[in-house]
Homo-oligomer: A and B are copies of this chain.
Amino acid sequence: MAKDFTTRAENYSQWYNDIVKKADLAENSAVRGCMVIKPYGYAIWEKMHDALDRMFKETGHSNAYFPLFIPKSFLSREADHVEGFAKECAVVTHYRLKNAPDGSGVVVDPEAKLEEELIVRPTSETIIWSTYKNWIQSYRDLPILCNQWANVVRWEMRTRLFLRTAEFLWQEGHTAHETREEAEEETRKMLEVYANFAENYMAMPVIKGVKSPNERFAGALDTYCIEALMQDGKALQAGTSHFLGQNFAKAFDVKFLNKENKLEYVWATSWGVSTRLMGALIMTHSDDNGLVLPPKLAPIQVVIIPIYKNEDQKKMISEKVASLVGKLKAKGISVKYDDDDSQRSGWKFNEYELKGIPVRIAIGPRDLENKTAEVFRRDTLEKQSYDFDTLEKTIENLLTDIQKNLYERSLKFRESSIRKADTWDEFVSLLDNEGGFVYAHWDGTTETEEKIKELAKATIRCIPFDNPLEEGKCILTGKPSKQRVLFARAY
């Protein structure tokens, strides 16, 4: 296949950049660290948005919208939170420009300095809890189950499209509860929603677990996460759900009268996934021919390409295709008929392969005679001829099969990439030579965790929910340990 991009084996990182570019997903903008999400990339994000939004609503959540800006002093209210988020952020200091005296353009008007600087939200706990204070008086006002779809800014120095950008799009859920138990249940429920989305829509297997204290969200008592494995053996945190305890309620003095008529601080959770999932999606399934999309997130699930030598042939094919298009659409399948004369079919084959369209149907004069069509599936790159008259059913089954196959293929890879290490040398050797998750004993201290990170560039991805207890010795310090935890080098 003719193409001008790098293979995974040659250079995985370059392969990723090439796919993002060639499949028209996103590009860097004139503003350092900020990306432009191009129409095709955005259409995939819209599919993610719609599926997640439906799942949030089905679990009782409503969307709302809170300010882009956060007063600087709000960040300082919660001690851990300010440590985590104040360091790299966009700071608004002025509210006006004026013409430069020398006519060279516009300059900041020094007269228009804000009394208190505003931070472009890196996450919205503080502004939201300052708002919830006015919404909550009694247990009757609880729970509050809000979600927000928004842009956020974290001033990253080294950025990569989708994976790490200064501005990104995300959703952030922020809930308020009467009891610790209810908040913890919500935290887990939303992690399940994320895992369900990752596995059933993105066809991306994930490991559910809890972060070590060191890797917690700044201000949380517990951070749950889903961790996925990319094809290069590096892990990627795909979503987090935080049990915030009463930290933000205390920081913003949000109390409620409970059923016993006593004042109590409110319990909180927050949870989010971002356009980073686009990077995870790309790196989970795509191959050296380009993007591979699971049918449930493909903006176009089926493309039909007519093969013809003259207008008569084209006309006959188009008539035949029209009824097929109708039948596919009736089944809720998104389909594009590309009869553009300005491009050759070879170019089209290549283009739709690059863009990850799950199924391609080609129909030529011979097919018309034989009442068949040639069907190509993007996941396995297999071509097969099918009976035209029952094609809509064939395609429907094929889409289900592709969705399933992508998940199973990724799961198989992930399962074969979890290895145990019992010594430091084994640990480093596995990371260097095999990648993937390394399941090893750790003495439970932040000090050791940081030392391991420094020496081996690996972090604790999570302690899986279903982790068995097992006596052992920390791979670094040899101190006793009660369970293995999951290490990996990560995005």
Contact = CB atoms under 8 A, between A and B. Distances in A.
A160 to B, nearest CB: 16
Given A65-B42, A86-B97, A342-B140, A30 B92 contact: no
A75 interface: yes
A31 interface: yes
A72 B30 contact: no
A353 to B, nearest CB: 21
A449 interface: no
Interface stretch (A117-125, A211-219, A223-231, A301-309): A117-125
Contact of A71 (B31, B92, B150): B31
A68 B106 contact: no
A24 to B, nearest CB: 10
B46 A63 contact: yes
B87 A34 contact: no
Nearest to A105: B76
Contacts of A92: 90-93, 120
Contacts of A45: 65
Interface string A51-82: 00000000000111111111111111000001
A131 interface: yes
Given A64-B39, A88-B96, A74 B118 contact: no
A174 to B, nearest CB: 12
A120 B30 contact: no
Contacts of A105: 72-73, 76, 82
A67 B36 contact: yes
A31 B69 contact: yes
Contacts of A118: 31, 90
Contact of A67 (B43, B66, B88, B167): B167
A87 B97 CA distance: 5
Nearest to A95: B155
Interface string A417-428: 000000000000
Contacts of A63: 39, 42-43, 46
A130 interface: yes
Contacts of A323: none
Given A36-B65, A64-B36, A127-B29, A97 B71 contact: no
A95 B89 contact: yes
A75 B97 CA distance: 10
Nearest to A150: B151
A77 B39 CA distance: 26
Given A106-B72, A131-B29, A151-B151, A35 B67 contact: yes
A37 interface: yes
A82 B98 CA distance: 10
A68 B153 contact: yes
Contacts of A74: 30
Contacts of A76: 105-106
Contacts of A97: 72, 75, 86-87, 89, 91, 119
Contacts of A151: 68, 150-151
Contact of A65 (B70, B75, B119, B169): B169
A243 to B, nearest CB: 23
Contacts of A39: 62-64, 146
A130 B30 contact: yes
A92 to B, nearest CB: 5
Contacts of A329: none
A291 B153 CA distance: 36
A86 B146 CA distance: 35
Given A30-B67, A75-B97, 13 more contacts: A27-B131, A29-B130, A30-B127, A34-B67, A36-B65, A39-B62, A39-B63, A43-B62, A46-B63, A82-B105, A90-B118, A91-B94, A120-B120
Interface of A: 27, 29-31, 34-39, 42-43, 45-46, 62-76, 82, 86-98, 105-106, 108, 117-120, 127, 130-131, 134, 140, 146, 150-151, 153, 155, 167, 169, 342
17 contacts: A29-B67, A30-B67, A31-B69, A35-B67, A39-B63, A39-B64, A67-B167, A69-B167, A72-B108, A86-B97, A90-B92, A90-B118, A91-B94, A91-B108, A93-B94, A96-B155, A150-B151
Q: Which 7 pairs of residues, A with B, have the shortest CB-CB distance?
A: A39-B62, A34-B67, A37-B65, A76-B105, A86-B97, A91-B94, A95-B155
